[in-house]
Structures are given as structure tokens and as C-alpha cells.
Amino acid sequence: MNKNILKALFLLLLVSVLFSQQREVVFLQMNDIYEIAPLENGKVGGLARVSTIRKELLKENPYVYTILSGDFISPSALGTSEYEGKRINGRQMVDVLNSIGLDYVTFGNHEFDYKFEVLKDRINEFKFVWITGNVYYNQNEIIGNFEKNDGSTLPANIILKIPGYTDEIKIGVIALTIDANKQPYVYYMDYIESAKNQYNAIKDSINYLIAITHLTIDQDKKLATEVPELKLIMGGHEHNNMFYKVGQTVIAKADANAKTVYIHKLIFDQQDKLNDIKSDLKKVDESVAEDPETKVVVDEWISRAYKGFMDKGFDPSIVVANFTEPVDGREEITRKELSTLGYLIALSMLQASKGSDAAFFNSGMIRIDDFLNGEITQYDIIRTLPFGGKIMQVEMKGDLLKKIMDIGWNNKGNGGFLQFAGIEYTAAGWKAKGELIKDDKTYNIALNDFLLTGLEQNLGFLTKDNPEIVKITEPDPNNKDDLKNDIRFAVIKYLKSWQH
């Protein structure tokens, strides 16, 4: 045999042997999961498909860790339904994620949408480990760790120990959450300070450091700069997939609702040195079979939640519209400009409110953060507006109306940005019904009941007892035909009429 061929075969064999002596540690990453079942008529997402991906990875490698980077028990549309006489409040996520075999999770800001008692129930029901490095329990200004019913506290960090070739490979894991939900029972420590403290606490016991975060991408980048020892940041909060490298730190986020997952492979050589991190974004679509065991759990919870919706007058599977073009419901649009979806919802409110001159609502009501396309069901409307809410008819003076619209327009980038119909902004000022709004004239405005709580950003003055409000008319709770009792019924009715 030719000597060159023999040499090539020997080199190939050598590479093969060396490669076989590499150790891989795999992290399967999800973030911002609000739906347990596939979306877009079954085309994308679905946690039973994620379960399949996990099982396939485990066939190849026993060192697979499944991670969820926050936001999952709220705001879930199914969680707003009722089962066994009370709101589900994320219980469906408990069962499904336990079925998958999730390993580690950290808080997202939306975990704190619930009262403490509800959150504590969810923490105690999960089989996986919650890690939280900068979020603490605030009880009457006494700051402490979140505890489980057995008295154990949620860890601020963990150390994974994987058998190596010369010794154990020890990977420290820290977790950090954005301080975007100021519940009275929550205390946030600065995330950079916390990360440094956690690293210093475990640095002598680990070989490498990674993080699970629910921060903005700018915060993740700052974290990578301030704590350069981090090798991998598995992030959440934004709903679109992202991949960056800051110094030697990899930052990755998958698409929300498990439309994609990240598969990170940390590759160690025979001296247990981290040689590389290979991060692959995998689509979760019809090409991935649904794991039968997890699908049973998913289907059972959908059945329970749908029954709860039907008891309230919805029929989740009924098609109400067919969008031939995608309607953009992403937060980056609905919270910055008058969007098609926002305008449709405001028009629905206006149509349901006889005698109103205009309608508006805070864009934070829209929670779908996705495109609506093709056949739109009642459940799509429910998951677009999971919190529902009443439509109030409020008579107010023009000067108050202009003040609200000015502030709402300047709330760009947050949930206090107003979506509206029947009002327009011109170079000359705000107009209603084609005429400039007059300070002393009374206008009848349809708005969602949340806006009258004074809890929206920069709109604290907008309450029921504001003296510039002339009159408030609430929907009749005993009249099931009054669409104003739930904004979602108004949207469903409008879309049906709009399509015909």
C-alpha cells in the first residue's frame, strides 16, 4: 500500500482516537415559555417535542442538563383558566416540565406576577432545582432566601461535577434576574454585584463558570464584561433568538415558546480542559416527533383549561378570522407604535361601546409577542389578551384626554404605551372624530379597567376618583350579551364581523 495512504490512514485514526477521548457536557436551553402545546396550527413549538430532543441527546451522552431561563408560570393563557374551582396559575407548567425532566431554572420577572402564596405553591410542586443569585424574599423589610415547605432554601448557585479523564470537571452555575417586577415580597440585589459575589464564593471549588439569566441583552453583555470568567450565559427575557460573543463569553437566547432551543456542547479534552463551546440553534417544528409521555400530560391540561374557558362562554377551537398576512404582535412593535393588532383591538372596544368617541388601552395587555397568521381561533385571542378585563366607558374633559394621550405616546418602549382608535395625532395636536380636542369639551372614551387603577407607568393620576372624570359607566355583569364584560369577547365579535 502507498506510504502516503498509510500515513493518511494513521493520522485519521489518531484524530479519531483523540476525538473519542473528548468529554462533552450538553446544555439544552429554553427561555420564555408560555405555551405547552405547538402553535401555528401545530407547526412550531410544543414541549412534547422538546422532550423528544432531550431524550435523543441523552441517548448520545449521559451528561445532558435541561435549562429554562425564566418566564414560564406567567403570563400563560392556559394559566388564566380554571380547574377544580380555582385558577390554574401555572400548574400546567409544573406537570409538563416535570414530565420533560427539566433540571434547572431561574426566576423570570413574570414569575412575580402572582401573589407570594401562589408562587410558593409552584416552587414546591416542581421537581427541578430553582437557582437564584440576586432575588430574595422580602417579609416586612426582613430580607431572606426563598424557602420550600421542607425548610430548604433555593440555592444561589450550584456546582455540577462531571467525571473527567484526570479528575472531576466542576462547573459552577449562577443565576440572575432582571429587577423589572417590583412586588412587595421581592428584593433584588444588583445583578453584577451578585454575580461577582457568587463567583468569589465558589471560584476555588470550580474549574469553569456559567450563568442562567433573565436579563436584557445589554445587561447580559455588561455581565460578560464585568465577569469575564463566565464561559456561557444562557439568557432569556427577549423573545427572539440571539447569539453574541463578548470576549471569551458566549451569550445565547432561544425563541420564546420553544419555537427553537439552543443546544450547547462544552467540549473538554483528555486533560479536562475546555477546548470549545459549540452552540446550535435547533428549530422545534413538525420534523420533531412529540414525546408520547409528555404529550399525554400536555393534552390533559389543554382539555382541563379549555373546559374552564368554555364554562366562561369561550370556545377556544372555533376559528374567528383568517389573516392572509401576518399581524405583528411582538412587543418591540406594540410597545413603540400604533400597530395593526393594537388598532384592531381598540376598534373592537370602540364597536362594543355604543356612544364612545374613541378607545385606547395599554399595550402591556398584549402578551402574545408573536405574529398572528392564518386561521385565528378564539384561543389565539385568549393568549393575545390572557388577562382579559372589562371595557369601561369614561366621560372626561378634553384637557385630561390630551394629557393621557401625550403621556401614553411618550411611554414608548414599555407597556404603558397606548394603542388607540378614534383618535389621531396631527401637527396641530390630538384630534377626536376629525376635530382638535377641546380642553373644556366632554368626551366619551372606552378604555380597559386596568387603566383606571393608576398602576400604569406615568399614569398614576388616571383613577376613578380623578376630579376631571365626569362619569364612569361599567358593563352590566348580569348581561351575558354585554361584550364590555370581557375585552376578548369584543375582539372575537369584531373579527367575525370584519371577516364577513
Q: Is the same domain home to 284 and 327? A: no
Q: Is the same domain home to 391 and 487? A: yes
Enter the C-alpha cell of residue 148. 420550600
Between β-strands 168-177 and 186-188, what pairing exists: parallel, antiparallel or unpaired? unpaired
b (16+ CB within 10 A) / e for 6-44: eeeeeeeeeeeeeeeeebbbbbbbbbbbbbbbbbbeeeb
Distance CA(27)–CA(25), nearest Å, equals 7
Q: Is the pTM of the predicted complex or chain greater than 0.85?
A: yes
Distance CA(4)–CA(127), nearest Å, equals 57
- Give the DSSP H/E element, type plus range, for residue 435: strand 435-436
What residues form DSSP beta bridges with 186?
Answer: 137
Q: What would the pLDDT profile of 21-47 be if each residue is shown by its tens digit?
A: 578 999 999 999 999 999 988 999 999
Q: Is the same domain home to 285 and 390? A: no
Would 102 be classed as within a structural domain? yes
- pLDDT attached to residue 497: 85
Would 182 be classed as within a structural domain? yes
Would 1 be classed as within a structural domain? no
Would 300 be classed as within a structural domain? no
Length of the chain counted residue by residue = 500
Taking a C-beta distance cutoff of 8 angstroms, is the pair 318, 378 a contact? yes
Would 132 be classed as within a structural domain? yes
Q: Is the same domain home to 285 and 339? A: no
CA–CA–CA angle 328, 334, 339 (5° rounding) = 65
- Three-state DSSP class for residue 283: strand
| C-alpha 164: how far from chain center | 36
Q: What would the pLDDT profile of 382-418 be if each residue is shown by its tens digit?
A: 999 998 999 999 999 999 999 999 999 999 988 999 9
Distance CA(494)–CA(143), nearest Å, equals 49
Higher pLDDT pick, 288 / 21: 288
* Residues near 15 by beta carbon (within 8 Å), at least 6 away in sequence: none
Q: What would the pLDDT profile of 10-28 be if each residue is shown by its tens digit?
A: 444 444 444 445 789 999 9
Would 11 be classed as within a structural domain? no
* Residues near 258 by beta carbon (within 8 Å), at least 6 away in sequence: 30, 33, 35, 45, 46, 47, 49, 50, 284
SS3 content of the chain, % helix, strand, coil (to 5): 35, 30, 35
Distance CA(19)–CA(275), nearest Å, equals 12
**Cα-flanking dihedrals φ and ψ of residue 493, to 5°?**
-65, -45
What is the domain range of residue 490?
Answer: 314-499
Using the 8-state DSSP alphabet, how is residue 415 labeled?
A: T
Would 301 be classed as within a structural domain? no
| C-alpha 338: how far from chain center | 22
> Based on the structure, what is the number of domains in the chain?
2
**Cα-flanking dihedrals φ and ψ of residue 169, to 5°?**
-90, 120
Enter the C-alpha cell of residue 335. 410597545
CA distances from 194 to 105, 197, 213, 490 (A): 17, 5, 12, 46
Q: Is the same domain home to 358 and 270? A: no
Q: Is the same domain home to 326 and 264? A: no
Choosing from 233, 262, 292, the residue where a domain stops is 292
What residues form DSSP beta bridges with 172?
Answer: 159, 209
Q: Is the same domain home to 165 and 33? A: yes
Reported confidence tier of residue 331, pLDDT bands at 50, 70, 90: confident
Q: What would the pLDDT profile of 136-182 be if each residue is shown by its tens digit?
A: 999 989 999 999 999 999 999 999 999 998 999 999 999 999 998 88
Q: Is the same domain home to 445 and 366? A: yes
Output the domain CATH number for residue 109.
Answer: 3.60.21.10
Q: Is the same domain home to 277 and 336? A: no
CA-based nearest residue to 38, from 407, 287, 365, 369: 287
Under the phi-then-psi rule, with left for phi > 0, alpha for psi from -120 to 50, and beta for the rest, what region is 58? alpha
What is the chain's mean pLDDT, rounded?
93
